[in-house]
Structure 1
Amino acid sequence: MDYRSIVKEIEQGKLMPVYVCYGPEVFRRREFIRFMLGKLVEPEHEEFAVTRYDLNETPLDVVLDDSETVPFLVPKKVIIAENAQFLTGAKENSKVEHRLERLIEYLKNPVDYTVLILVVDAEKLDERKKLVKALKERKCLLAFQTLTAEELADWAARRANRLGMTFGSGALEKFLLYGGTDLQSLAMELDKLSLYVGSGGEVTADLVEQMVARTTEQNVFILIDELVKMNTGKALEILQDLYKQKEEPIKIVALMARQYRLIAQVKELVQTGYSHQQIAGAVGAHPYAVKLAAEQARKYDVNRLNRILSRLADLDYQMKSGQIDKSFGLELLLLNMAV
């Protein structure tokens, strides 16, 4: 089942006896578990109602024995069992033995006073396994996959609304451009903005520029975005800010080369007919980064991209061999790229 459907069912009091949470988006996975605990457990009862296990150290039998034990002083309990790697195709390094048939039997007649949450640090499960098939048949699987570009924007907008604020014109796009794609970092930046604007406040594009913390990688990405728009002056301002942060010109060149390689790859794959989601999987980038790279790629032809990459490679060599002053060489490159 998808995340929203399961949340809606939980809101209505419909609970599954077992949930399997997996996928690369760890932040959303943790948020779901916090949501479950908030719905099922009173804070003062958490000591009696919530138990956590590490399946690298604890046999599945122990977890299921606990699941079948009547809760003490609380009507319902939640058991969270991390590292259920036996649901994947990966080779298990744990010396703990798990009797998987016991869980299959439990699924046939689960108790109604326990919610068991199995957590798997894996992008996907091995659906050839009998246990995974049984869990899938009972709709216990909940995948937390990387958000698409559209889903990421929707996630940020909805979280801002829950914090009592809205994004003004162009502010959401700038927030994602500046903040990156890590949900935990974005959540922290949204919390910071909500404290500043207050309930009912509006986040403007200027406020995003002033307040949202940017990593070196994001600053280089924004620098390139300004170059794409032919805003060389703004690009040089960002470069000076990077210098003030003691960033090495060689590192900046390497990050620029990485981004231009991504632009070139995305341009080629878009022309081949790949979707942004397919490209993200092929090149190992976040779908939102692919979306922005595709927009940037429209401003370049293949020959110009190849020339830029060649210039970056030449500058990298000149810097490392001492043939040119690093800062001067990088500034000169930015000026030449505007031509």
Structure 2
Amino acid sequence: MTEYNKIINDINNGKLSPVYLIHGEENYFKDNIIKIITDSVINEASVDFDLKKIYGKKTDETQENEVIDFVKRFPLSGDYSLLIVKDSKNLSSDFKNIISYIENVNSNSILVLSFNNNLDKRKKIYKSSQKYGTVFESKKIYDNQVYGWIESQCNFKSLNLHPNSIKIIADFTGNDLSQIDNELEKLKLNSNKDDIINPEDVEDIIGFSKEYNFFELTKVIGKNNYIKSLEIVSYMSKNIKKYPLPLIIGTVYSFFNKLFIYHSIENKNEAPKLLGINPYFINEYREASVVYSMKRISRIFGYLLEADKRSKGIEFDNTDHLGILNDLIYKIFKSN
């Protein structure tokens, strides 16, 4: 996410805005921007004097004035006073006083307004913040964007990961951006700058298996390797915390859904972009498309739906994870 990385770079380079309005559903971006602002302007000596955090409360009509009083004053110890308002929607009904301040800010203060959900861009508080400060919409990342997000963060953190390493991390973390960030930090701390981080390194440093993971499961299914598929689901079923049954089924569904779409793409050169995958992996879909026709995939969707119901205990016993997975794999391979 270029906009997010630009804001982080600006803060790290001392280019600070007097006002930050952060809104949207993804907490990772909001929390990280706030943390980096705080780390940049507040030190151990100033934390008790120049930092204030409040949560907007509908029942407290004095909060807006409290905010104005704090940001108008000069810092007592550091270079800036920093006020962070969480759940800012409840701070005021019209933000009249806040808007008035934003249009005539104190250059020695930084005001951060964080909103839990998306803010109406027609609101004056949004327009004023955009004109005089920095506005960021914190959007959720979809599953098909996770690989690209990890790739961009690797570039940002100067990490050189092999495409298979990125895929393994993406499969394990899903769109949990905080976990992704933690895993990448582990890799950064335990590798040299110019190293190419291979799946073996991911397994050694993070603990994700390079042989038994979601990526390898869909890969061997695509290669029509029945025995290896059974071996992987057997391994996964022994650790249901790390490999939840619904996630395994969802991963296999996602693979076949993309494969179904691949069949329908006339210009195969456009497939990586349309499928939201790295071109490095497109050959796996090309090979799998020979094994699985659209008609066969349609039948497999039915088996996946049945397995999903069983995993949720709908009309079936959901305690036998290995039995559900073995049955699913059997039906996939016998679906000709």
Q: Say yes or no: does 1:30 pair with 2:24.
A: no
Counterpart position of 1:141: 135
2:71 corresponds to:
67
Match for residue 298 of structure 2 among 306, 309, 317: 306
Per-residue Cα deviation, 1:238-263 (whole angstroms, up to 9, x for no partner): 2112232257x9x73x5455445545
Provide Cα deviations, 1:186-216, integer angstroms capped at 9, x if missing partner. 222233334544676552212324554569x
Residue 154 of structure 2 corresponds to 156
Deviations 1:162-190 (A, max 9, x none): xxx64346433333333433121122223
RMSD of Structure 2 on Structure 1 (CA): 4.2
What residue in structure 2 maps to residue 230 of structure 1?
224
* Aligned residues of 1:83 and 1:121 also touching (Cα < 8 A): yes
Question: Which residue is 1:283 aligned to?
Answer: none
CA contact (8 A) 2:168 2:213 kept: no
1:206 to 200, 208, 218: 200
Cα 1:42–1:189 change in 2 (3 A) is same
Equivalence for 2:106: 111
Aligned length: 309
Q: Which runs of 5+ in 1 are unaligned?
A: 86-93, 281-286
| Residue of structure 2 in register with 1:127 after alignment | 121
Structure 2 unaligned blocks of 5 or more? none
TM-aligned CA distance change 1:109 to 1:43, over 3 Å: same
Secondary structure, aligned partner of 2:17: coil
Distance 1:337 1:8, change over 3 A: closer
Please give the TM-score of this superposition, normalised by the length of structure 2.
Answer: 0.73
CA contact (8 A) 1:181 1:288 kept: no
- Equivalent residue of 1:61, what SS? helix
TM-score (norm 1): 0.72
Looking at structure 2, the residues matched to 34 and 321 of structure 1 have their Cα atoms a distance apart, in angstroms, of: 47
TM-superposition CA deviations, 1:43-66 (whole Å, max 9, x none): 332221211010126522211121
Supply the distance in 1 between the matched residues of 2:254 and 2:53 (Cα, whole angstroms): 41
Output the CA distance in 2 between the equivalents of 1:246 and 1:173.
Answer: 20
Structure 1 34/317 Cα, relative in aligned 2: closer, same or farther at 3 Å? Answer: closer
One-letter identity of the residue aligned with 2:80: K
Equivalences for 1:192-271 in 2 at 5 Å? 192-197=186-191, 202-212=196-206, 219=213, 222-245=216-239, 252=245, 254-255=246-247, 257-259=249-251, 261-262=253-254
C-alpha contact (below 8 Å) 2:154/2:160 kept by paired residues: no
**Residues 19-38 of structure 1: CA distance to partner in whole angstroms, max 9, x if unpaired?**
11123332232222222122
